[in-house]
Amino acid sequence: MQKTLLIIDDNAALCNTLSQTFRQLGYQAFSALNSIDASACLSRHNIQVALLDMMLGHEDGLDVLQQLLSVSRELPVIMITGYASIESAVQAIKLGAFDYVKKPLDFEQLVKVIEKALKVSSQTEAAHSDSAASAPQIITQHPGMLEVCNKAKKLAASDLPVLLLGEHGTGKEVMADYIHAHSPRCGRSMLKINCAAFPETLLDNELFGHEKGAYTGANSCFKGVFERAGRSSLFLDEISDMPLAIQAKILRTLQNREIRRLGGNTTLTVDVRFIAATNKDVRRFIQEERFREDLYYRLNAAVIRIPSLRERKNDLPLLTEYFLHEYSKEHDCCARDVDPAVQESFRNYHWPGNIRELKNVLNYAATISVSPSIRLEDLPPDFPAGVHSSSSAPNNIRDEMEKNLILSILRKTGYNKKKSAELLNMSRKTLYSRLKKYGISSSAR
């Protein structure tokens, strides 16, 4: 594959000389005298590395650098300076430049820097390819959900903050993964925070970090997720549960691309793609003064509403087949499909827990079932369509299987009853009843 290079310098003679020299070395070299020509070249060609003069006529090279990175965020840009300004070079690196070289150019050194940048560029392209290939599957044939996926993929190409709306279990986190995997930032891992899981002081610290000595016990500097997610994406789940004071700080961060650590006196520039999600009625929260209206309108430019499972019931057969296939790959179970009576009960059920509930129901039933097709009696005890008295398997076999499943889930959750009940798709009352029935200790041993 031919190596492509873009040279951006207002000195036409230097552009021509460098272009000809690099072409002789096997490069495909393009040149531009200003930012407009450079942007046009980026849109027409797959540029792998750019050389940019720090002083581009009447244009500031740092401004042009930011323009280039806004079009192609992962593009390695090497700055050229004839003024030996280390301060400007360092500022360029902070803004995202790959490296810098000084005039008069040491051509041998320049080639080394370009080759190094090309290596990084090829690794980034490979990472993008791998990320897109490993993007989460959105299992659907529902027109509304297909439209959502199409919108998500288009938004992924931009750097707009995205707000995902949807009920519990509709797949908001999966959609966040989908957006990140199709974005220019996919070469770096997305960081995730559940805002509802932290009290206010800990959430502030986790988001923005702290300086050494900021409070008792702060014995070292700590970088928050806005810093740790640099040049990647940050997913904030349950953003509506965030205290108003932190909402205000989030708004300032989105507006200014800057943060200040707790106990710090200086602002830090951050480069993060922001994705947020909530299952709450945001407009009602605004009326109740529990969510900032200005933050909502900041996020409102790119809102994706994910349909509930009851709105896309024609996806039930596809989702059922997919979850059973995935479960059977990891566990030794004989269930491969569901009985027609189960299909009917699924169609008639309203699925308040949405896709997450469907997955948990199928995982439970697949573990309990002793036949290739899941039957009504295999469904969880709290599932409305479950009919357990007509079980085709001996009670002692089913009881032993259910006991082992409960023990497995308890160990997986560290004997957290709330999480275990949710994964088993039963109420905590039913779970405690089963623990008593099978003589299972309610705490880890």
Indicate whether 127 pLDDT > 80.
Answer: no
Residue in this structure with the two tokens 């016990």, named with its chain if needed: 217
Place of tokens 């966040």: 176
375-422 residue pLDDT tens? 998 898 888 854 444 444 455 666 777 888 888 888 888 888 888 888
Q: Is 363 exposed, middle or buried (0-12, 13-18, 19+ CB in 10 A)?
A: buried
Question: Tell me, what CATH number does 77's domain have?
Answer: 3.40.50.2300
Q: Which long-range contacts (CB under 8 A, 24 or more apart) does 400-403 make?
A: 401/367, 401/368, 401/370, 402/368, 402/434, 402/438, 403/434, 403/438, 403/440
> 380 preceded by cis ω (within 30°)?
no
Which whole number is the average pLDDT over 357-368? Answer: 93
Residues 188 and 124 both lie in one domain: no
pLDDT of residue 129: 53
Q: Are 363 and 333 in contact (CB under 8 A)?
A: no
The torsion region of residue 290 among left (phi > 0), alpha (psi -120 to 50) and beta comes to alpha
* 298 and 156 within one domain: yes
Select the more confidently predicted residue: 343 or 119.
Answer: 343
CA distance 7 to 21: 12
**For the chain, what is the domain count?**
4
For residue 228, is it within any domain? yes
Cβ atoms < 10 Å from Cβ of 362: 27
Q: 165 and 121: one domain?
A: no
384, part of any domain: yes
Residue 253 predicted with pLDDT over 90: yes
pLDDT at 124: 61
pLDDT at 170: 97
Q: Say whether pLDDT at 179 is over 70.
A: yes
**How many Cα atoms sit within 13 Å of 115 on the Cβ side?**
9
Residue 444 lies in a domain: no
Of 307, 328, 343, the residue at which a domain comes to its end is 307
Which of residues 346, 364, 388 is at a domain's end? 388
109 backbone dihedrals φ, ψ, rounded to 5°: -65, -40
**C-alpha distance from residue 189 to each of 171, 203, 230 (Å):** 19, 21, 10
Residue 389 is predicted with a pLDDT of: 40
User: Which CATH number characterizes residue 299's domain?
Assistant: 3.40.50.300
pLDDT in tens, 180-219: 998 888 888 999 999 999 999 899 999 999 999 998 888 9
Contacts within 8 Å (CB) and 24+ apart, 376-379: 376/339, 376/341, 376/342, 376/345, 378/335, 378/342, 379/342, 379/345
- Per-range mean pLDDT, top range of 112-126, 223-237, 383-397: 223-237
Q: Is the pLDDT assigned to residue 130 strictly greater than 60?
A: no
Whether residues 170 and 279 fall in one domain:
yes
Please indicate, yes or no, whether residues 94 and 172 belong to a single structural domain of this protein: no
Question: Is residue 36 included in any domain, yes or no?
Answer: yes
Tell me the average pLDDT of the chain: 87
Instruction: Answer yes or no: do 335 and 226 share one domain.
Output: no
Which of residues 18 and 370 earns the better pLDDT score?
18
Residue range(s) defining the domain that contains residue 96: 3-129
Percent of the chain with pLDDT over 70: 92
Domain termination residue (choose one: 282, 307, 332):
307
Query: How many residues are given for the chain?
Result: 445
- Residues 337, 420: one domain? no
Report whether pLDDT(288) > 90.
Answer: yes
The pLDDT of 48-75, averaged and rounded, is: 86
**295 — pLDDT class (breaks 50, 70, 90):** very high
Do 297 and 331 belong together in one domain? no
Domain shared by 363 and 419, yes or no: no
pLDDT digits (tens, 9 = 90+) for 267-280: 999 999 999 999 99
37 and 80 in a common domain: yes
Looking at the structure, tell me whether residues 368 and 411 fall in a common domain: no
Q: Does residue 136 belong to any structural domain of this protein?
A: no
Give the N- to C-terminal CA distance of the chain in Å, as an integer. Answer: 59
d(CA 359, CA 367): 12
The pLDDT value recorded for residue 388 is 43
* Within a domain: 135: no
| pLDDT higher than threshold 70 for residue 132 | no
CATH at 329: 1.10.8.60
Assess if residue 138 is contained within a domain.
no
CA distance 130 to 236: 24
Q: Which of these ranges, 39-48, 162-171, 206-215, 302-311, has the smallest mean pLDDT?
A: 39-48
The answer to whether residue 367 sits within a structural domain is yes
Query: Given this model, what pLDDT does residue 147 score?
Result: 92
Place of tokens 């299987």: 401
Compare 410 and 288 and report the one with higher pLDDT. Answer: 288
Calpha distance 85→164 (Å, rounded): 45
Q: Which CATH number characterizes residue 410's domain?
A: 1.10.10.60
Are the beta carbons of 240 and 285 closer than 8 angstroms?
yes
Under the banding of pLDDT at 50, 70 and 90, the label for residue 265 is very high
Per-residue pLDDT, averaged over 11-25, amounts to: 92
Claim to verify: residue 295 and residue 203 sit in the same structural domain: yes
145 alpha-carbon distance from chain centroid = 19
- Ranking 284-298, 302-316, 364-378 by mean pLDDT, the lowest is 364-378
Read off the pLDDT band of 444 (50, 70, 90).
Answer: low
